[in-house]
Each structure stands twice: as C-alpha cells, then as structure tokens.
Structure 1
Amino acid sequence: MTSFKDVSGANSTDLVAAVDLGSNSFRMLVAQVVNTPSGTQIRPIDTLRESVRLAAGLTDNKLLGNEAYQRGLAAIRRFGERIRGFDPSKVRAVATNTLRVAKNAASFVRDAEEALGFPIEIIAGVEEARLIYIGAAHEVPAAQGNRLVVDVGGGSTELIIGKGYEPKLLESLYIGCVSHSMRFFPKGNIDAHAFKEAELAARREIQVIAGAYLKTGWKQVIGSSGTARALAELITENQLNGVDDSLSVRRISGLGGLITREGLRAMKKHLLKYEHVNQVELIGLKDDRRAVWPGGLAIMIAVFDELGIESMEVTDAALRIGVLYDLLGRSQHDDMRFVTVEQFMQRYGVDRSQAIRVGKQATEFLTQLPQPSSESRDENVALLQWAANLHEIGLSISHNGYHKHSAYIAGNADMPGFSKNDQARLAALLIGHAGKLGKLANNASFYDWRMLFCLRLAQVLSRGRGNEDFPKVRVADNNGMYSISLSKEWIKAHPLTEFSLQKEAAEWERIGRPYEIILK
C-alpha cells in the first residue's frame, strides 16, 4: 500500500477517503485502514456532510439549475481542502441518481473534479446498490441466512438481498425522498390525498420487484443511511414505535435505530394533522430534513407494506463504507466481529500470549458444562474468546481497576459488526472477570454466569503468565452450584493459586452462588 502524508493527525499513514455526491446530501468519509490477522477494517476518523439537495435543483427538462449547481460546487471545494495531498489511489468519489439523470451532468462533473482535485464517477443504480450492500454488510452484526438492505436516498431507493458480504438481488428504483416530496408535496403542502398518492406511486415501483424478493426471502432487515436513520430517530424520540422504549434507545445507540410498521403508521397519522411541513412539531426534526421527510416516509411505508416488513434495524453505514472496501479490493472475514477484536487487540497493545492462554482455558471449561437449549454454543464460545482477547485492554489506561476501563471501552466504543447487545454482554464479562461480583449480582439482565465462571477461573489459573503445564481441571454446574476438581499435589505446589481459588469461592458464595473446590 502506498504511503502518503497523514493530514488528519492519525497515527497511521494508511488513509483513504470516499466522497458520495448524493441527490440530497454530499458526504465525505476519511478513514484509516487497519490490517489485522483476520482481515482489513476501515476505521472512520473524519466525516463531512452538507445538505445540498441537488435533486431539488433539477428543472422540468432535467437540467441542474444554477443555484443547485453552485451549492454543489461550493460543498465540493470544501471537501477538496480536506483531502488535499491524498494519493489519488486512496480516494474514490461517486455520484448517484441526480447526476445520472441531469442532462448537464457532464459539465457539472468537470467543474466538480477541478474543485475536488480527484476524478468523480457517476455510478449506475445497480452499482450503487452493490456498494450500499457491501458497506452495510461490513458494519452490522453477522446474520444467518439472507439479509435485506433498504436505502431510501434523495433520488432513488436501493433494495438488495445478500448473504454475508455477497449481494444476490440488486435493484435501484427511481423514487427518493427529495423527488417524491417535490412531486407529491409541492411547496411543503400536506394532505391525506397527496400522501395516499405518494404511497401508491411508491408501491407501484416496488411491486415490480416484490415477487422475486419475497421468493428469495431474508432473515434480517437493515435500513441504511440518511432517510432510514432520520425516521428511526424521529420515531424513537417521539415514542411512536409501540415497543418498549428502552429497546428503542438501545437500538439507537447500537446499530442506529429501530423502525417498526406501527411507528411508521403513527408518524403518518401525526403528519396528517398539519397542512404544511413547517407546522409539523416533532422532537428531533431537523430543518434540513423537514422538506423531504414526508416523501421518505411515504416510500418507507410502501416498502414495509409491499414486502411485508414488520421491523427494520438501521445503520449509518452504506455507500461510503462500501466505496472504501471496494477501493481496497480486499476479501474480508466472514464475521466482522473477529476483525474488530483483532484490531482492538492491536490498538490497545494486548499481551497476545496471555489472551490466548486465558481464552483456551476458558473455552475448555465452557465445553465441559451442559449447553442450555436456548443458547448457541458457537456464539457463546466466540463471545468468551472475544472477552479473553479483550479482558486486558483497560491496562492501556491504568492497571488500577483496569477491568472497569476494559468494560467501558467494550461497551462504548464503535465496534463494527457488534450489535449493542453483543457489546453489552461483552462489557459485562469484562467488568466481571476480576474483582467483586456484587456489581453483576444486582444486574437483573445479566445471564452469562457460566461464561463468567469459566473466564474468572481461567484468569486465576493463568495469573503467572507462564507456559507451564496447567493441571487437569474438571468443572461442573449443578443447578447453579459450581465445582472445580484438580490435583491435590499440584495445588500444594502452587500456594498462591490455592489462596486465589479460596478467595474466588468466597466471592461467589457472597452473592449466593455455591462454589466448591474438590482436591483429588
């Protein structure tokens, strides 16, 4: 990989940039390329977004009007300053629907390339869909089976079904939040008839592809980028989802939000109380979204209705992330979480030998215990290994109370591939792997006690950080009573470990969980 001057202040010189000239907003992402043993990861370090509303500047004869033309160039000049000096091989700029249809697009692109300092590609709808899927797939939790990704943009809507990182069905429909709002809600006027017409127009477009999509099917639904994120935030902040509000809040801080059919219908009902978009009162409704969200709402309702969707999780990741991964041309690990953990181990200088030592023992102990029918053994083993790999990341901050720092990082950092629930479980294991257990005993939502038992035991036995042969240890869980069996001769030769195990047993007893040490 070619190196060049780091203009961002990041430690690495491996920087890449993606520029997305969308129909509603222009966006730029500057990211650091992090190579780990499990693959390559994009770490965002800077983002820029400007609401240009290029699609609103299209005249009736499909020409980009001068005002929108100049708004776009002004934004691109500012983007150009940010990435000045970047190697051309590390920058990719793409333009989407509005510049696909504008008759004077070639003229705009020439001026825009001069302002940006890099080539700009006008990509086809299907290519846009492919890149959107790649971006979303790299940032959301892994899923078994197919995944449906929906991206309602300013001038087009992309729907993609894929598995893993590979898209299977790709479609780009000529309906978007800006164009739809201009067509059905001119000058911001709202009424029930216009909204019904907007829904039906969107449904007619989706009906063409619905049969093939429903036949292929999916297990997970993801909404990507601006419109989906805006709708999710409005629904959650105004408590329109009709679900447990704490769930919505967790989703917002995890993937980026939750949209339900009930939430969309409640938002539509609220919208139709008003005659103009400027009158609408909603917590969190941003001025730059006010004029275009009715069209986006109508399209999203049509997507839910035609495809029978009940709920959709939302991520910010989409086209820009996909552009960067495509630019790198690297094959990625099947589960992005492994890449993320590897990258965190690098970032926080983890002692790999100790992490492997603890992880190997903890996993061995877990496999000795019966598998609950409601849990996945593979998922639990993976989570336990990730906890072992990351349990000492807090040492990069302070040795005193390092487990608290480890838990805070795991619970609050951006961890691509991990859902909020993944991060919450991981953080709980990290806060509990050392010290007192009372902090988790009072947490009614914590249920990974067996994994915590295995992790704490492995940590105690590996305290010496040596490569000596460990004793053969048998563990058992008898209705919540833990027991460990090991050699009397070995424990006699290791008085510190014996003392630590006795303290461990006392700590579990303190929270009402029996813990027996059997010497043979």
Structure 2
Amino acid sequence: MGDVSAREPQRQVPPAIGPDRQAVNRPQRGRWSNAQAFAALDLGTNNCRLLIARPQPVDGGTGSGFAVIDAFSRIVRLGEGLAASNRLSDAAIDRTLAALKICGDKLRRRNVTLARSVATEACRRAVNGADFIARAYDETGIHLDIISAEEEARLAVLGCHVLIEPGEGPALIFDIGGGSTELVLVDTGGAIPRVLDWHSAPWGVVSLTESSPGGEGRDGRIAAYARMRALVADSMAAFAARLPTGVPRARLLGTSGTVTTLGSVHLGLPSYDRSVVDGLIVPAAAMRRISGDLAAMDVRERAQLACIGTERADLVVAGCAILETIMDLWPAERLGIADRGIREGILRRLMGASRP
C-alpha cells in the first residue's frame, strides 16, 4: 500500500459534471466567485456525503488546506438488503438517486471545476453495481468511480491522520462503514504516514446488522451482540495476528458515524456538534461502557437518545460490536475520533497537496 500521498485520478467537471471533460467558464456570482471550487463525493453503503471546498493556505502560507463552501450528507442505505440478494434494491437505488440529484445541483450552483466521486463496498459487492453507476450518471450527471477497499483505506488515512495523537511507534486508523471496515496500521514518523499493513473486513453497520438479527429481551440482545463480536473477530483474525505486540503506548483513531455518534453520547450532547466531536479523545473504557449499554437496549430506547435517533437506532449496535473488537486487537487506552475521512482525502489529492 505504501505512502498515502500517491496521486489519484482527477476529473474535470463542467456543468454536466461528466467524466474527463474540460470545465466551462461561466459568469459567477457571490462570495466565492473568484475562487476555484473542488468537490469530493463519497457514496457508501449507508451514507451519501459531499464536500465542496476551495484551497486555503494554512500555517502562514507554508501548508495546504481548504475552506468548505458547501456540504451535504444523507443516510440513503444503498446496501439495504444486499447481504441477502447480492443486489441493490429498487427502493435503495431510488433513495440514493434522489440524494445524488441534490449533490449534482450543488455542484452546478457552486461552479465546481474539479471533482471526484467514489462509491465503495455496496457497489463493489452488488451484481448490479455497474448498472447503478451508469444510471446515476445518466440521471444526475455524476460519474462515480467504484474504488477498491485498499484505495478507500488510503483516502481515509490521508483525510484524518493529522488527528492521531503524538507519540512513538505505529498507530492504528480504522473506518467503520456500512458494508465493510478498513483498518490501517501506519508509521507516523514522517510528515506523511507510511502504511505498514492494512485490512478490509466484510462487516459494516448495515451488513453486520442484516447478517446478525437481534435477540428478544435483554438477555437475547446481549447474546446477539456477542455473536456479532465473534463474527467480526473472526474476519479480523489474520490481521490481528500480524499486528505488533508490546507497543508501549498504542494510539487509535477512528473515523465513521459510529465513533462520532458514540463520542456525542459520551459528551451528552443534545444534538450533534462537529466542532466538539472532531478531534475528541475519549477513554477506551468509556466507549466500551457506552457500547455495552446500547447493546442491551431495545431499538425504541436507543432511538430516544440524542444523536442516535431513529435513523441510527437499528445500526449503532453493529458499529459498537465492530468498535469493541478493534479495541480488543489494538488495546489503546484512549480513542481519537475524527469527523473527516475519505472526502477530505479526495480534496487534498485534487488540490495537489503533498502533505496535510
């Protein structure tokens, strides 16, 4: 896998937002009219997320960064039912196309000149994934690249690794998705992290929930949670065996809806606040305690908790099972939480950043 700074394909995006075409100059208005706009779209198994940004110097002009112009996020559950049918359902496709049309409108309104849109595990796994990609382009003008699990992991690292706690030795970064979980062991000794090892497990919050139905009553739910953890542990066993032992101070950084949600629960936030969650450091024991509590609750009880609600109530337990398994194989005392990842990694590549 190597250095995460290897450059990615870039797509010129005119108003039609199609692949490999030169941008069209049009009269621009508004605050951002003189700035080149870049966009990154990440279509996962559960979420559709877009960031539009412009370059912005940092560190007195010696570094590279960006200022977000516009953003969009919606839970679309593209991979719903995929575990049983190996196909993207019509309902899931319709939900996702509706979200992509909103993204396409934002790209046109912001006069985006360079963008990359990626699709991950659901489209990799579905037998009709390629057909969906073609339909999405026809109906929205957005060209989605189905990227590999390795590329997904590499982009996530580039997007969030600046939040790894300072320290010696390797650190572990993970991204719990809807259909898979990526784990990357990195050496942080240089300006850009060097990937030492990586693994993609076939379990995310949607795929694990659908493959491991919950039990009845508190005891049944706790037993179902244990089964989830066993499935995840088995899928990560080969990677766990390769991890170094005796690391004096293991460092762990997570990027996903699971960790940001649990971080919000830990803080007792009445509603989600990225400004206090992104970069948060939480004791691992606290995350385990929250995970155990949520696993014992029923869906109605979880839905009543702020920052979980009805949209995440049925999926958050699977995320907890994956998180606890990761903390078992890399026993850090603290967990870093990042509300950034693939989209930020894409933007850094598009803007030509050689280092975050």
Percent identity, aligned pairs only, is: 26
1:244 maps to none
Correspondence list, 1:50-199, <5 A: 50-58=74-82, 60-84=84-108, 90-138=114-162, 140=163, 143-145=166-168, 146-162=170-186, 163=188, 164-168=191-195, 169-185=197-213, 191-199=221-229
Match of 2:257 among 220, 226, 233: 226
Deviation at 1:215, TM superposition (A): 4.9
Match of 2:342 among 308, 319, 327: 319
Q: Tell me whether 1:208 sits opposite 2:230 in the alignment.
A: no
Deviation at 1:286, TM superposition (A): 2.3
- Structure 1: 5+ residue runs without aligned partners? 239-249, 337-520
Greater Cα radius of gyration, structure 1 or 2: 1
- Distance in 1 separating the partners of 2:301 and 2:259: 22
1:44 maps to 68
- Distance in 2 separating the partners of 1:8 and 1:154: 37
Amino acid at match of 1:299: I
Secondary structure of the residue aligned to 2:31 is coil
Where relative contact order (Cα < 8 A, 6+ residues apart) is larger, the structure is 2
CA contact (8 A) 1:188 1:278 kept: no
Deviations 1:49-74 (A, max 9, x none): 01001121426230111100111111
Change (3 A) 1:219 1:264: closer
- Distance in 2 separating the partners of 1:22 and 1:289: 15
Deviation at 1:160, TM superposition (A): 1.3
1:292 maps to 315
Q: Which has the higher helix share?
A: 1
C-alpha RMSD of matched pairs (Å): 3.0
CA contact (8 A) 2:79 2:122 kept: yes
Change (3 A) 1:314 1:59: closer
Match of 2:267 among 213, 236, 257: 236
- Structure 2: 5+ residue runs without aligned partners? 1-11, 13-22
TM-score normalised per structure 1? 0.57
Amino acid at match of 2:345: G
2:6 maps to none
Change (3 A) 1:187 1:33: farther
Deviation at 1:224, TM superposition (A): 1.0
Deviation at 1:283, TM superposition (A): 3.6
1:247 maps to none
- Distance in 2 separating the partners of 1:305 and 1:311: 13
Change (3 A) 1:176 1:254: closer
Deviation at 1:219, TM superposition (A): 5.1
- Distance in 2 separating the partners of 1:308 and 1:141: 15
Deviation at 1:256, TM superposition (A): 4.2
Secondary structure of the residue aligned to 1:60 is helix
CA contact (8 A) 2:181 2:203 kept: yes
2:3 maps to none
Amino acid at match of 1:191: R
CA contact (8 A) 2:165 2:336 kept: no
Deviations 1:30-63 (A, max 9, x none): 1111246313212222210010011214262301
TM-score normalised per structure 2? 0.81
